Structure 1
Amino acid sequence: MEKDILFDLTSNLEALGSLSKFANVSQSEIVSFLNSCDRYNIDYRENYYKFIEKFNIKLDNLRLDNLEIKSIHVTTGNDDGEYILNNGLLNLKEVVKRDTPMNRFLIERGIEIDVENKILRYNKKELIISEDNCRKSNGEKNYVHHKLYRDYLINGFHYNNKPLKYGGMVAYRPEFIYSLGDLIRYRDLEKTWENTFNQCYIVEYKCKPCNIEWNSYVKDIMEDDDGIEPSLEKIIKRWLINNSLYVIFNYILGSDGVEIYSFLKPNYNVPSSDIIKIINVTSKRNNS
Structure 2
Amino acid sequence: MTTPFVFDMTNREALIQSLCSYFGLSEEQVEDFVLMNEDVSLELFCQTYDIVEEQLNRPALYIASYHSTTNMDRCASIQTLGLLNLRETIRQDTPLARYLRERGVMFDLDNKTVCCHGNVFDLRKKHVGVVDSRNRAKDFVAYKLYEDHQINGFLCTDDVLDYGGYVNLRPEFLMNVAELFKDSRLESDWKRDPKRQAYVLKYIAPLSDYNPSTFSIHREVVAQKSPEEVEEMKVQGLLTTALRTLFNSMVWGTVSEDISYLNGDAVVPPQNIIQIYTAESYTTFNETAW
1:241: which partner in 2?
Answer: 239
2:210: which partner in 1?
Answer: 212
Amino acid at match of 2:150: L
- Residues 3/20 of structure 1: CA separation in 2 closer, same or farther (3 Å cut): farther
The structure whose residues are more often helix, as a share, is: 2
Q: Deviations over 1:221-255 (max 9, x none)?
A: 9x9xxxx9981232122123212111211111234
1:281 aligns with 2:242: no
1:5-154 alignment runs, 5 A limit: 5-38=5-38, 47-129=41-123, 130-132=125-127, 137=133, 140=136, 142-154=139-151
1:253: which partner in 2?
Answer: 251
For structure 2, the residue ranges without an aligned partner over 5 or more in a row are: 284-290
Cα distance, 1:2 vs. partner? 8.2
1:164: which partner in 2?
Answer: 161
- Residues 220/56 of structure 1: CA separation in 2 closer, same or farther (3 Å cut): farther
Q: TM-score, normalised by structure 2?
A: 0.86
- Residues 115/61 of structure 1: CA separation in 2 closer, same or farther (3 Å cut): same
The 8 Å contact of residues 11 and 247 in structure 1, kept in 2 or not, is answered as no
For structure 1, the residue ranges without an aligned partner over 5 or more in a row are: none
Structure 1 CA distance for aligned equivalents of residues 156 and 237 of structure 2? 13
Amino acid at match of 1:165: D
My pick for the range that moved more, 63-72 or 242-251, is 63-72
Paired residue secondary structure (1:172): coil
Post-superposition, which runs of at least 4 consecutive aligned residues in structure 1 deviate over 3 A? 1-4, 138-142, 218-221, 282-285
> What percentage of residue pairs aligned between the two structures are identical?
28
Q: How many pairs align? A: 273
- Residues 6/264 of structure 1: CA separation in 2 closer, same or farther (3 Å cut): same
Paired residue secondary structure (1:53): helix
Q: TM-score, normalised by structure 1?
A: 0.86
Root mean square deviation, CA, Å: 2.6
